[in-house]
Amino acid sequence: MEVILNYRTHIVSSLSEIGQSAWDALASSQDKPNPFLSYAFLHALHESGSAAPDAGWQPQFLTLYDGEDLAAALPLYVKYHSYGEYVFDWAWADAYGRNGLEYYPKLLSAIPFTPVTGPRLLARDETARAALIEVLRHVQQSTEVSSTHILFPPEEHARQLGEAGFLLRSGVQFHWVNQGYADFDAFLATLEQKKRKNIRAERRKVREAGVTLRRVRGVDATDDDWRFFTRCYRHTYAEHYSKPYLNLDFFRRIGREMPHNLLLVIAEREGTPIAASLVVHDENTLYGRYWGALEHVPCLHFETAYYQPLEFCIEQGIGVFEGGAQGEHKMARGFLPTRTWSAHWLKHPAFADAIERFLEQEAGGIDDYIDELNDRNPFRDGA
């Protein structure tokens, strides 16, 4: 524990205890930060009640201070369920229950409801990062939790956690890479003929249905736009017999606090809006996030959630479009498989051993799956 002696440790239940300037200065100094790490996004989740104790997300952020300066921080939650995580451990929870053990509460480091890779072990240098890992190890051993889970860290941070005794798990997402395309047709020209034909047919179906699309930058979005988007978002969850994670207050907050990172795509027919998607972006990466529709139009989801954002990436020179969780169907639209990581620590020795064996078997299956996906490369030259 000597590594942490030079730091003052705090566990905070609200980002306001840290302050926006201190948090954003640390978050933005990391390698490959993203908008979801920002104070604006996280604070909106907490203050809107979307990721709050009443919803089963109890913030318990770890912070290390060097004097008055924030040297390291870990976004951390005490969780009482496994909803909104996108790295599935329901079977683990069930196994605990069948053996008379409690799986919840557990500790989770993640951006709630957001399966986006990015820094979790925020630190100004490697010494502070090593100290942060030591603090986490002490906390998880000294509290009444079954386990700790760190979701979607960059690979180098996952490896550090592996060296600290965490079990590593990998998964797959689908990302599109901008090769400097002049326009959408130039991108289409790189795809296999069948894929190119299918995309054009899907876009044509939307036009023939009388649907038009408009893109609304966050800085131009009105309260009516946010109300309409939230209505679409909630309607689509209801159609799938699910409860939406996010509410109008959350969308209003990010619309107000981080508008330069937001783009709405609104679909209209005869002047009446019928569907919308919301993506988040910075200068380098666009992240597919939320979608909803009030009525069904064939292929409208692809147009609003994929093709319009792809055109936006090409026009703005954005290099990568991360398509979100799951979805092999994205490959036919130019997205390629990308490995993701998570790190897991379990207090119960027997369960830790059993899950380690499971993850070893699963890792082989993930490797085979990625190889199989790469054999189905949608590009003409197989790049």
Residue listed under structure tokens 């890792």? 363
pLDDT, tens digit (0-9, with 9 covering 90-100), for 62-80: 999 999 999 999 999 999 9
Using CA atoms, how far apart are residues 221 and 189, in angstroms rounded to an integer? 34
pLDDT, tens digit (0-9, with 9 covering 90-100), for 240-284: 888 899 999 999 999 999 999 999 999 999 999 999 999 999 999
Helices then strands, counting H and E runs in the chain, come out as 12, 15
Q: What is the pLDDT of residue 46?
A: 97
Residue listed under structure tokens 């509460």? 105
pLDDT, tens digit (0-9, with 9 covering 90-100), for 306-362: 999 999 999 999 999 998 887 889 999 999 999 999 999 999 999 999 999 999 999
Phi and psi (nearest 5°) for 328? Answer: -60, -25
What percent of the chain is predicted at pLDDT more than 70? 98
* Spatial CB neighbours of 329, under 8 Å, sequence gap ≥ 6: none
Mean pLDDT estimate for the chain: 95
Using CA atoms, how far apart are residues 82 and 224, in angstroms rounded to an integer? 33
Query: How far, CA to CA in Å, does 329 sit from each of 59, 94, 224, 372?
Result: 35, 30, 32, 14
* Upstream peptide bond of 105 is cis (omega within 30 degrees of 0): yes
Residue 291 has pLDDT above 70, yes or no: yes
Nearest residue to 187 via CA among 209, 210, 203, 211: 203
Phi and psi (nearest 5°) for 5? Answer: -65, -25
Residue 158 has pLDDT above 90, yes or no: yes
Burial environment of residue 376 by CB neighbours within 10 A (0 to 12, 13 to 18, 19 or more): exposed
Interstrand relation of 147-151 and 106-109 (parallel, antiparallel or unpaired): parallel
Q: Which residues on adjacent β-strands are paired with residue 216?
A: 264
pLDDT, tens digit (0-9, with 9 covering 90-100), for 130-142: 999 999 999 999 9
Q: Which residues on adjacent β-strands are paired with residue 149?
A: 108, 344
* Spatial CB neighbours of 362, under 8 Å, sequence gap ≥ 6: 169
Q: Is 55 helix (H, G, I), strand (E, B) or coil?
A: helix
